[in-house]
Amino acid sequence: PWTGGPVMVAILGLLFWVVFRVGQRLEMPLVELTDRLGAALAEKLPPETLLGTLAGGALTGIAGGVAIVLPYLLPFLIGLAILEDSGYLPRMAYILDNLMHRIGLHGKSVLPLILGYGCSVPAIMSARILPSLRDRRITAFLASFVPCSARTIVIFGLVAAYLGPWWALGIYLFNLLIVVTLGNFLARTMEGASPGLILEIPELQLPQIKTLAAKTWLTLKEFITIAWPLLVLSSVVLGLLEWANAASFINALLAPLTVFFLGLPVAVGMTLVFGILRKELTLVMLVQALGTTHLSAVMTEGQMLTFTLFVVFYVPCVATVAVMAKELGWRDTAVISAFSVVLALVVGVAGRFGYALFF
């Protein structure tokens, strides 16, 4: 009773610290390498030509996956697999059961929410384990706001890398506060009550390296075969839009949101559009849209914080929306998506003016 909570916090803190440190060590040399490749390509194929635009966009997408996404995604997936295979995730559900009931949810809701830190799709699908429709709806709703591994890439690659790890941890804690507040509100307004928790607790065991490798590869394979091609294709499309001067038109349409409300560079608009496909795209597209991997040269720390807060909360990716529609129906999905945009805007504006006021 006395040590379970502190040990859980320590374990999650250690996971956070390891992911940040490993990602930081891997990212810096990889970014330098991709910068050199980009400069060499620009000498042979000038970026103002169509061929140069296509080649540069493809290289940006490939480099974004190698230098920005993988350094943080790989250690995060390994850490999550260790927690799962060691038998610790059900223990976390047990430890947090009382807290979940205080906000009107079932202790089993912890499992889908924790899975949400890996990917929102299996998190929403795993809400099926809950005994009541009310709990399934609330849990699926909350799981869509948990920072998945793709959003984690943005948090680590932007906030942790430029503002420091404590700022990134602050975003996670703030997100947790929002999720708890939303859960409490929904539990009070929706009819019904959560039943007690009956949960099988497996024995603690050392994870097998072969199993960890297979599980990590299974998730990583999805990124390599689905997300990475999208990164490359989107980079090429964005390059073509810029070459045809169409990107500026789309950015101008989104300027009231990006510039007026959020105080971000006007070029950020297109990145948010592509981010609906995959959240990793927002960071990779940000690099391409601003024309540099050294984002601190073109964005202030306040802008990085505001951008990250908005990305963490706004519309889930297309795959998540599709699964949500299957599990909850299109009506609930439309309400959740619309609410996420409003919430992201409120949080982003608050982050913008809060940072300017206190820092």
Residues in the chain: 359
What confidence tens digit (pLDDT) does each residue in 62-95 have? 887 787 778 888 888 888 889 888 988 878 878 8
- Beta-carbon contacts of residue 265 (< 8 Å; ≥ 6 apart): 258, 259, 290, 298, 299, 303
Task: Give the model's pLDDT for residue 225.
Answer: 80
User: What confidence score (pLDDT) does residue 106 get?
Assistant: 65
Distance (Å, whole) CA 47 – CA 29: 24
- What's the mean pLDDT in 192-212? 78
Q: How confident is the model at residue 41 (pLDDT cuts 50, 70, 90)?
A: confident
In the prediction, which pLDDT does 80 show? 82
Question: Is 0.85 surpassed by the pTM of this model?
Answer: no
pLDDT interval class at 194 (50, 70, 90): low
Dihedrals phi, psi of 86, to nearest 5 degrees? -80, -10
Q: Which 3 state secondary structure label does DSSP give 239?
A: helix
Q: Which two tokens stand for residue 59?
A: 């290289």
Q: Per-residue confidence at 193, pLDDT binned at 50, 70, 90?
A: low
pLDDT tens digits for range 297-339? 899 999 999 999 999 999 888 778 888 888 888 999 999 999 9
Q: Which two tokens stand for residue 311?
A: 């990305």
Average pLDDT, the chain: 85
Sequence-separated (6 or more) residues with CB below 8 Å from residue 60: 38, 235, 239, 284, 287, 288
Q: Is the pLDDT of residue 342 over 80?
A: yes
Which pLDDT value is given to residue 260?
A: 93
Per-residue pLDDT band at 159 (split at 50, 70, 90): very high
- For 232-282, how does the pLDDT look when each residue is reduced to its tens digit (9 = 90+)? 887 788 778 878 877 788 899 999 999 999 999 998 998 888 788 778 778
pLDDT of 160-182, one tens digit each? 889 998 999 999 999 989 998 99
Q: How far, in Å, CA of 101 to CA of 105, rounded?
A: 5
- Residue pair 222/139 in contact (Cβ under 8 Å)? The answer is no
Note whether 303 and 265 are within 8 A (CB): yes
* DSSP category for residue 192: -
- Specify the higher pLDDT residue, 18 or 319: 18
Q: Check residue 266 and give its pLDDT.
A: 92
Tokens 């859960």 sit on residue: 183
CA torsion sign for 220, 344, 306, 351 is negative
Separation between Cα atoms, residue 36 and residue 46, nearest integer Å: 15
| Nearest by Cα to 308 from 321, 324, 295, 322 | 295
The CA–CA distances, whole Å, from 83 to 75, 91, 146 equal 12, 10, 18
The reported pLDDT for the residue numbered 195 is: 59
- What pLDDT, in 10s, does the model give residues 97-110? 777 777 667 667 77
- pLDDT of the residue at 73: 80
Residue 352 has pLDDT above 90, yes or no: yes
- Predicted local confidence at residue 224, as pLDDT: 81
C-alpha span between 226 and 245 (Å, rounded): 28
Q: Is a pLDDT exceeding 90 seen at residue 16?
A: no
Average pLDDT over residues 132-150: 86
Average pLDDT in the 346-350 region? Answer: 96
Residue 358 has pLDDT above 80, yes or no: yes
Q: DSSP for 322-338, please give it.
A: HHHHHHH-HHHHHHHHH
